[in-house]
Structure 1
């Protein structure tokens, strides 16, 4: 079984060294048996933590079998790191128990909020990038890392609007969170592209402004396209389509800057046959190999 020794805090570099620098796939329930039957040559699998916060059942049965053969990344969607209120201690405790059970090579969460008081919203909502938000996010990440006894990776968001009261650019905000908390960065390249198109920014300049030394995992996904009320191009991070060529190009540029890093292919809607996802993983593997061969 793959195991990882928990790093000491603060430990961004330790957090960034956990997953192998290969391509991985999001593990879908419809693919459990196929994965076990074919045992594909894949770098790792990732699951959403909240889908496994129960004591038993078939999900745990199959995940346990797959975890015995592959490295594992846990990706949270419900901690609400950016919420104005305190973190849900029961949710955090269930997460700690899940991590203790499976000892994943990485745990990640989103720079977003999804709760307000007792109300939980099934969405990842944007933040104002100002000093009070920065202090709150850092305090929440400290609480998470101290509870889990390991550094986490923080994912850059896909956004569709900005707040007038923001006093920091998003990459600068992320960089300061990472500097203060010691967490790592989950670089979602699709999110970079989606946000930059929506806010009419340069994706390469955004990428260069991020703390790329802290990247411990990369996400690649597809997006949907629409128009806003002014007729401008609007991209939606829906994880329901093949990875766009523009995202592949930006990914290759990221690898040129940071070298090979564990890369996940995300597909959460309109999930195709396993072989289709495996083909995208193979494309990522080719680019990872090219990045590793660079002098």
Structure 2
């Protein structure tokens, strides 16, 4: 008999309706955006009750305990202290239901309060332009070599295409061109990036780059009628970048980013004569860029 009573109670809990999950609490409205993004990643909507001190975040309702437990296992990836709330206090339940009825949940009003296009999957293309500077170092190996210090600063252009993943990562392939009065860089590279939680329409991101760089000279580094020099240079490189995306519309975003490339470009300079050996090298090891651009999301 006792077993039968316990079994009936278990079934009543297992299949009871209107279960919710108490996710977390937030003291500021600005925090809701981050919470909403995390819940959306695991396929859950967000509800909240506002009191005088904080926002109490829920998700649901769930028709039975089994579905709420499955949802809880996903939600605890981001919110380890989340728990199932049976919502037996009628007054609180009525308040929450009123939110659902009148507000249509925050996920349905995302265009006003939450805008999370940057965490949706899909392809994109982008164009950017900005200021770039390539640091050079001249080293004399033998004799005396005087060079015309190259102008290594100028306006750069970048074209790229890539793909956004739902988990915040995105990849891209890119082409960059920098042309100064004396030298030109042509870089082809790939990048792996991660977007952090967006704040309103601003999304910070960080990335790693790797690719191939070609350095060409428009004006030689030395004054000579017939210099014996290998002016052009090829190099593999790696780099880092950091930036911020601003979502203008569902399809268009603007970005600003800084990137730093670490290269090994070496221009060998040989200005030897019949009576003296004059050899040196000019190295370009880093390239810094600050860019503004626009991105179109498909």
Q: Same fold (TM over 0.5)?
A: no
TM-score per shorter chain, which class?
A: under 0.3
- Structure with greater proportional helix content: 1
TM-score (norm 1): 0.22
Answer with 1 or 2: which has the greater Rg: 2
Instruction: Tell me: higher relative CO, structure 1 or 2? Use CA pairs within 8 A at least 6 residues apart.
Output: 1
TM-score (norm 2): 0.22
